[in-house]
Amino acid sequence: MKKFLTFVVLSLAVLLAACGGEQTSGSGDKPSAPDKFLQIGSGPMGSGWYPITTTMTEVYSEGFSGLNATQLEGGSTANLKSLQVDDIQMGINYTPDFISALEGGKGFDEPIEEIAAIAAIYPVYQTIATSADNDDINTIEDIVDKHIFLGPKGGGGPVAFWKMMEEYGIDEQTIEEAGGQISYGNYSDGASMMKDGNVDVFLGGGAPFIPALQEMELTSPIKVIPIDEQKLQSIEEKGIGITAGALPGGTYEGIDEEVPTYVMETMITVRSDLEEDYVYQLTKMFWENLPAFEEQVPERAENFTLDTALNGIDPETLHPGAKKYYEEEGVLE
């Protein structure tokens, strides 16, 4: 009898252990991360990037077992430099800045080797604007001797602007020698400065509109300076992450026709030394949680699609984990 009871007790123990093991396995379906922390480089609070990275931190903190994802304020070039020194492990930036960082080009003192691409997520239309009543400025050539506002110094706008201006044979020295001036700052300050006549030209990126310009035009109408379409085609053919596009008509009051301009892609970048499976999961979770982004950032998330995930990105620069995911999804052959 004792032997029978012992057998029953042992059998029950094995059964309970098996059941307990199954529960543990069930609760452990989430993939684990190689580190407890994931820091994501964003834009300044109040920027279009900030709510995107807020949603990313929520998706990743929930999707991984024991991972604490947080965001840090930054900018396009600033985030790429932060990736280099491992202050962040993932960040948002513009495609031209990513290419410049790899090459050690405009905005970077030396090449950054520690970065790899994850995805392009939405287009950003570059807007070069002036006051509607400014009769002296109608073309890019007209801005050479003017006071130009280029947005945040650590952002991606200035880098792409100078690359575009190379098509016109104009650089910063050309502007200084012509008596022009360059200023930097946040978009709200720049719009206020243009409204008050303290700057002549405003550069900013939007998807497609820039809130600061929409606020300004309530009392001071604006006009958008077109980019020569042949020059847009030329810069697109260079493969530097800038494409030809057009600001849609109706983006701003009184501008009913589309205006030719250059477009950059907002993209997600990671450190290249992150483990392949980890980055595979980061990529997969981003694309499988689109409803979360559609709820939080609907105007931008409507452009989040696998069909455009590699816009402006050379597949050779993809992290192996991201590349594996796109191969599985048929985005890459």
Q: What is the CATH number of the domain that holds 171?
A: 3.40.190.10
Residue 260 and residue 128 share a domain: yes
Cα angle at 190 between 185 and 196, to 5 degrees? Answer: 140
Has residue 1 been placed in a domain? no
Q: Structure tokens of 235?
A: 């810069």
Total of domains in the chain: 2
What domain range is 284 assigned to?
37-122+266-328
C-beta separation of 246 from 261 below 8 A: yes
Query: Average pLDDT for consecutive 10-residue bins of the chain (333 residues)?
Result: 43 41 48 96 84 97 97 92 97 93 90 97 95 96 97 82 95 96 91 95 90 90 96 92 92 94 96 98 98 94 95 94 98 91
Has residue 13 been placed in a domain? no
Has residue 100 been placed in a domain? yes
Instruction: Please give the pLDDT value at position 43.
Output: 86
Instruction: Please give the pLDDT value at position 113.
Output: 94
Conformation bin of residue 72: beta by default, left when phi > 0, alpha when psi is -120 to 50:
beta
At which of 264, 280, 312 does a domain end? 264
How many other C-beta atoms lie within 10 A of the C-beta of residue 112?
A: 20
Q: How far apart are the first and last CA of the chain?
A: 67
Residue 282 and residue 260 share a domain: no
At which of 264, 299, 314 does a domain end? 264
Has residue 246 been placed in a domain? yes
Quote the crossing angle between the two packed helices 276-288 and 49-63, to the nearest 10°.
120
Residue 281 and residue 212 share a domain: no
